[in-house]
Amino acid sequence: MLQYRTDLAMEVHELLCAKSRAQTLSGVDSRTVFRRGCSVTSVRIDTEGAARQLGKPRGRYVTLDLSPLQKNADDLLERASRAVGAELRALLGENVKSVLVAGLGNASMTPDAIGPRSAEHVLVTRHLRQNGAFSAFCSVSVLTPGVLGRTGIEAMETLRGTVRAVQPDAVIAIDALASRSLMRLCSTVQLSDTGIVPGSGVGNHRCPLSRDTLGVPVYAIGVPTVVDAATLTLDVLEEAGKSDVDPAALRGHETVIVTTRDIDAQIRELARVIGYGIDLALQPLDFSELCALMG
């Protein structure tokens, strides 16, 4: 299973089930439903044994396949934002009244820019709560901590200090992920209640963001924007009936990352979907009111 590189819990579960010829794994509850025009797959890891087997922390991972919605560009933003917002709201529960949103990644590297770009579309309200018109709103702060190579500071360190100052009920972290399949690039959103490791999508793992490191629950929103070239090659060879290839022979000395040719347009579109989805999950607004506020 480790020959395939992916950050999506549903893909790891699929690979392990295929390897063991089972429908599901012990300690894992997986189910797929069709809601709001797209398929929603929930993978809940219940035991430490299952967590070790999947290489993921215990918790819930919800993956939305937005590809059916992307076939109609006219109302894509509204329908996709509503779908993301509804699943995020269900994951957060009713007791979250203040949130720090962290847009992780390198804004100058397009496949890694989904975090900072999405943060631009999140409605910031912490400084407005004393205004009567916003008293019923969730208190939202936004931070884009940048990357270690530009700041010299780990995202976890920046966020830990901000959490101490702002004291949110939860952190929502947005970052790029890697998928094993080209078909899932920029058409899939994974939500989880287990935190996140910044940079995992582009092979640059940093200090994890979790309840243990930040002191509050950390919810993650990830969008697969890249595929590892060796993983992609293995997938293609497997489809061609050639499964006896040594994965190590494909990797060579350098990691090669593949993305789509229209990644700029895809990131712009998905950043609005993620940002608006967060807004709809947190605030007492409908889509038209949100568009009016965000311009």
**Predicted structure pTM score:** 0.91
- pLDDT above 70: residue 248: no
How many other C-beta atoms can be found within 10 angstroms of the C-beta atom of residue 236? Answer: 11
Mean pLDDT (whole number) for 277-295:
93
Q: Is the dihedral of CA 153, 156, 162, 165 positive or negative?
A: negative
pLDDT at 207: 84
Q: Would you list the DSSP string of 47-106? A: SHHHHHHHTS-SEEEEEEE-HHHHT-GGGHHHHHHHHHHHHHHHHH-S---EEEEEE-S-
| Residue predicted with more confidence, 203 or 77 | 77
* Average pLDDT, rounded, for the chain: 89
Sequence ranges of the domains in the chain: 9-294
- pLDDT above 70: residue 132: yes
pLDDT at 1: 43
- pLDDT above 70: residue 245: no
CATH code of the domain made up of 9-294: 3.40.50.1450
- pLDDT above 60: residue 22: yes
In Å, the largest CA–CA distance within the chain is 66
pLDDT at 241: 66
Q: Residues 24-51: pLDDT tens digits?
A: 899 999 999 999 999 999 999 999 999 9
Q: Using CA atoms, how far apart are residues 218 and 159, in angstroms rounded to an integer?
A: 11
pLDDT at 158: 95
Q: How many CA atoms lie within 13 A of 135 on its CB side?
A: 4
Pure H helices in the chain? 9-20, 48-54, 67-70, 76-92, 114-119, 148-151, 155-166, 211-214, 229-239, 247-251, 263-282, 287-294
Per-residue pLDDT band at 251 (split at 50, 70, 90):
low
Strand partners of residue 209: 196
Q: Using CA atoms, how far apart are residues 49 and 234, in angstroms rounded to an integer?
A: 27
Mean pLDDT (whole number) for 182-190:
94
Mean pLDDT (whole number) for 100-105:
97
Q: To the nearest whole percent, how much of the chain has pLDDT over 70? A: 90
Structural tokens at position 181: 């399949």
Per-residue pLDDT band at 229 (split at 50, 70, 90):
confident
Contact call for residues 272 and 77 (beta carbons, < 8 A)? yes
Structural tokens at position 201: 């999508």
- pLDDT above 90: residue 115: yes
Q: Residues 52-70: pLDDT tens digits?
A: 999 999 999 999 999 999 8
Q: Using CA atoms, how far apart are residues 9 and 29, in angstroms rounded to an integer?
A: 12
Q: Using CA atoms, how far apart are residues 19 and 44, in angstroms rounded to an integer?
A: 19
| Residue predicted with more confidence, 207 or 266 | 266
